[in-house]
Structure 1
Amino acid sequence: MKIKLFIVVLFFPLLIFGNMAQPWVEGSKHSTLYGAKNCQVINENIFIKLTKSEDDIYFANYKIKYTIYSEVNQTNPLLFIGIGLSNKKTVRVNNNESKINGYGKSDALNIYYSKNDSLSVNKDDLIYFEAKLNKGKNTVYVEYDADLEYNTRGFIRTYRLEYSLYPSKFWKSFGIINIEMLLGDNLEVASSNIGQPEIKNDTAHWVIKNIKKDTIELEITKKTTILSDLLLILQPFGISILFLVVMFVYHRKLLIEKHKQKNLKYKSILSLGVLIIPILYYVIYFISYSLIDFTLGQANSKHGYVFLFVFTLPILMLVYGILMWIIDRKLKSKYSK
């Protein structure tokens, strides 16, 4: 029972976070161009530059170029869905700037991909323009800034980028998609549902030849060192547990010396250890947060209600005291013979 209680006390910080929802800030939702069945997209080139804002949060600047083949000279309405984009948007068709028009009369709209396939959006989330396409190849250029989804708690901020490819199936055909993401020397791609990128000059590069996903999903995080990786694996809980184990072994060694030598200077070693070691365990636990942040080169990160852990100190002190008292009684019995 004592061992079970001791384990529960040690795992209390994990129980705290296990019942807390992970808070996230949602990012922009956007897609490739929604076009027409009488046009072919030869290729789409997406260049993404990740830039840090004044409040230390990264956002994405998109520069997207479509090469479109039109069978005839025509003026074709094109639609780009972008939820949560910046107000500054640029559209150019064959190097001529195009006016972004309003779409629909009401604020809430349903965009129909087909008769039974629609998406509910706000009219401000649409980039709607008329493209004057020549017979043959044409270029359509779209530029805008978009927010990235990110977590607000934890040591490492993970940014999530989503880009819908679903509208590509409504063109006559859709060719190769080239994606370049400028990461800089401080970021790296943590995960990708379109395969691992080729990294060159701090830029991640993907080529999608066959569109098999409806949405591109990427996660980007800060680069870490070997030391910070090790500390992130341990977490403050693991670091403090290692300290507690080391101090327990040392405390037990001192008790053995006390009973072997029957030296009076070891007389108070039991009570001092029971008082000091549990307190140091909590001190190491809380200091570990600053230590990990320091190795990551950042200010204090947010972790929720970690201060609640300190209220388990009396319980840990009691359980540790009982455990060491039992060990001390057994050592006394062993070395008094």
Structure 2
Amino acid sequence: MKNPFLLLLFFLSCSLNANMAQPYIEGSLSGTPFISKYAAINHEKISITTDADFQTAFFDIEYHITCDKDGHQIPLLFYAIDFKKEFSVWVDDIPIYLLPLPFDYKGSKNNAFSDFTYLYESDKELVLSETDNSSFGIRTEDLKFFKADLSKGNHIIKVQYTANAWNYYSSWVQKDTFKYALSPANYWKSYGTLEIWLNNTKNKKPITTNFGEPNSTANQQLYWKFTKIPVNMMEIYFEPEIPNTAQILIDINPFRLMLILGAIIMIIHILAIRYYRKKHFRPRFSWVVITGSIIFPFIILFSYMVFYWIIDWIIGENATQRHGYIFLIIAFYPVVLIIYWILMWLVDYTTKKQMKKSNI
């Protein structure tokens, strides 16, 4: 294929991921706070309750901290974006208000934020989690803080908010997930224990996590306990199961299904051409060749889209129905028509010659 434009159209039409829109909708992202050098988190308890549709989840989190000194200080920096309902914080059962970082938070080394220089002393974006396929970084400007007159000793900081799920559409079915970053704990001077309680009784969907098997489970209520960070980005997700019939078709691939159908149509068309010529070997042109060469290439190319629709129909309401620019395959109709017509003409021509010889 010498035309680079047609080559580009081919790759666009055959790619499942070719989609102008972002293949996911961002949800809430929060995580374990960054902590002052004068404080230590001894225990973190995360309680998560998912809603009936698995589109929002209520987070109730407790941080048991120990302060090494008395005084007015900034013990924690929070990162939380795009949450559905207010991000509320209590210190020893007293509600407090979070503030955005001031414009001059970098200041001198002796300012209130000198314990957090590791967050802004590098020009690189701070990465919460990174995989082969994606990474999640933060802007320090999105961090929030509170000042508190904390006494030396133990304190409990409580956080509550309602998070939105992340919705992914890059696959055949929609995948919904809730995220919580544990990676800020990598900056702590010590790490205590972590408890995770997950209540999934409202929706009763079979969920999956990326932080291992629970210590206990009963009636969609799960519990984990860790003494080290299990993952940088904690994920709880639900991905509907694809019906077996649909999975078989997906494994074959709509493009291969189109080729299989095309081969069947071509065989039937060749048989029809030969049958016609055996009966009518004198006419110069065969209407069977002409009609079939116009109609069948379009049917073959159009079937590529139809196979996507069939698979989506079998999957049902859980199908994402997002397959990119599959309609661009029709742009190849003129090219396929010419090639197909030449092949069928050759079949007709050789058959006609054979019939003439046999009737001499």
TM-score (norm 2): 0.67
Out of 79, 98, 103, the residue aligned to residue 101 of structure 1 is: 98
Q: Deviations over 1:48-81 (max 9, x none)?
A: 525649xxxx344323234456789998743321
Other-structure match for 1:89 = 87
CA distance in structure 1 between the aligned counterparts of 2:222 and 2:256, rounded to whole angstroms: 34
Other-structure match for 2:59 = 62
Q: Displacement, 1:166?
A: 2.6
Out of 299, 306, 321, the residue aligned to residue 326 of structure 2 is: 306
Q: Displacement, 1:121?
A: 3.2
CA distance in structure 2 between the aligned counterparts of 1:207 and 1:327, rounded to whole angstroms: 72
CA distance in structure 2 between the aligned counterparts of 1:9 and 1:165, rounded to whole angstroms: 43
Instruction: Give the aligned residue type for 2:245.
Output: L
Q: Does 1:251 align with 2:269?
A: yes
CA distance in structure 2 between the aligned counterparts of 1:101 and 1:18, rounded to whole angstroms: 41
Q: Does 1:316 align with 2:336?
A: yes
- Most deviating of 284-293 and 314-323: 284-293
In structure 2, relative to structure 1, the CA distance for the partners of 1:287 and 1:112 (3 Å cut) is: farther
Query: Is this contact kept in 2: 1:67–1:140, CA < 8 A?
Result: yes
In structure 2, relative to structure 1, the CA distance for the partners of 1:300 and 1:208 (3 Å cut) is: closer
- Most deviating of 200-209 and 276-285: 200-209
Query: Is this contact kept in 2: 1:93–1:131, CA < 8 A?
Result: no
Query: How does 1:1-337 map onto structure 2 within 5 Å?
Result: 13-14=13-14, 23-36=23-36, 37-47=38-48, 49=50, 52=53, 58-68=55-65, 77-93=75-91, 96-106=93-103, 114-118=116-120, 120-122=139-141, 125-126=143-144, 128=146, 130=148, 139-151=156-168, 155-159=172-176, 161-169=178-186, 170-178=188-196, 180=198, 182=200, 184=203, 188-189=207-208, 192=210, 194-195=211-212, 201=219, 208-211=226-229, 213-216=231-234, 220-258=238-276, 262-264=278-280, 268-298=287-317, 301-333=321-353, 336-337=357-358
Query: Is this contact kept in 2: 1:50–1:181, CA < 8 A?
Result: no
In structure 2, relative to structure 1, the CA distance for the partners of 1:11 and 1:23 (3 Å cut) is: closer
CA distance in structure 2 between the aligned counterparts of 1:114 and 1:130, rounded to whole angstroms: 16
In structure 2, relative to structure 1, the CA distance for the partners of 1:105 and 1:175 (3 Å cut) is: same
Q: Deviations over 1:244-292 (max 9, x none)?
A: 2222232234345456xx2359x64333322222222233233334323
CA distance in structure 1 between the aligned counterparts of 2:338 and 2:219, rounded to whole angstroms: 57
SS in 2 for 1:277: helix
Q: Displacement, 1:85?
A: 2.5
In structure 2, relative to structure 1, the CA distance for the partners of 1:117 and 1:176 (3 Å cut) is: same
Q: Displacement, 1:332?
A: 4.4
SS in 1 for 2:180: strand
In structure 2, relative to structure 1, the CA distance for the partners of 1:201 and 1:223 (3 Å cut) is: farther
In structure 2, relative to structure 1, the CA distance for the partners of 1:264 and 1:179 (3 Å cut) is: farther
SS in 1 for 2:84: strand
In structure 2, relative to structure 1, the CA distance for the partners of 1:62 and 1:11 (3 Å cut) is: same
Instruction: Give the aligned residue type for 1:296.
Output: I
SS in 1 for 2:13: helix
CA distance in structure 2 between the aligned counterparts of 1:8 and 1:254, rounded to whole angstroms: 35
Instruction: Give the aligned residue type for 2:250.
Output: L
CA distance in structure 1 between the aligned counterparts of 2:115 and 2:330, rounded to whole angstroms: 56
Other-structure match for 2:129 = none
Q: Percent identity?
A: 20
Q: Over aligned residues, Cα RMSD in angstroms?
A: 4.4
Q: Displacement, 1:82?
A: 0.8
CA distance in structure 1 between the aligned counterparts of 2:307 and 2:198, rounded to whole angstroms: 37
Count of aligned pairs? 321
CA distance in structure 1 between the aligned counterparts of 2:162 and 2:320, rounded to whole angstroms: 28
Instruction: Give the aligned residue type for 1:117.
Output: L
SS in 2 for 1:98: strand
Q: Deviations over 1:212-256 (max 9, x none)?
A: 643335664333222232333345434333322222232234345
Query: Is this contact kept in 1: 2:42–2:65, CA < 8 A?
Result: yes
CA distance in structure 1 between the aligned counterparts of 2:87 and 2:262, rounded to whole angstroms: 57
More strand by share: 1
CA distance in structure 1 between the aligned counterparts of 2:298 and 2:218, rounded to whole angstroms: 49
Unaligned stretches of 5+ residues in structure 2:
107-112, 121-125, 127-138
Instruction: Give the aligned residue type for 2:48.
Output: F
CA distance in structure 2 between the aligned counterparts of 1:60 and 1:238, rounded to whole angstroms: 41
Query: Is this contact kept in 1: 2:72–2:147, CA < 8 A?
Result: no
Instruction: Give the aligned residue type for 1:279.
Output: F
Q: Displacement, 1:305?
A: 3.6
Instruction: Give the aligned residue type for 1:47.
Output: I
SS in 1 for 2:98: coil
CA distance in structure 2 between the aligned counterparts of 1:92 and 1:312, rounded to whole angstroms: 63
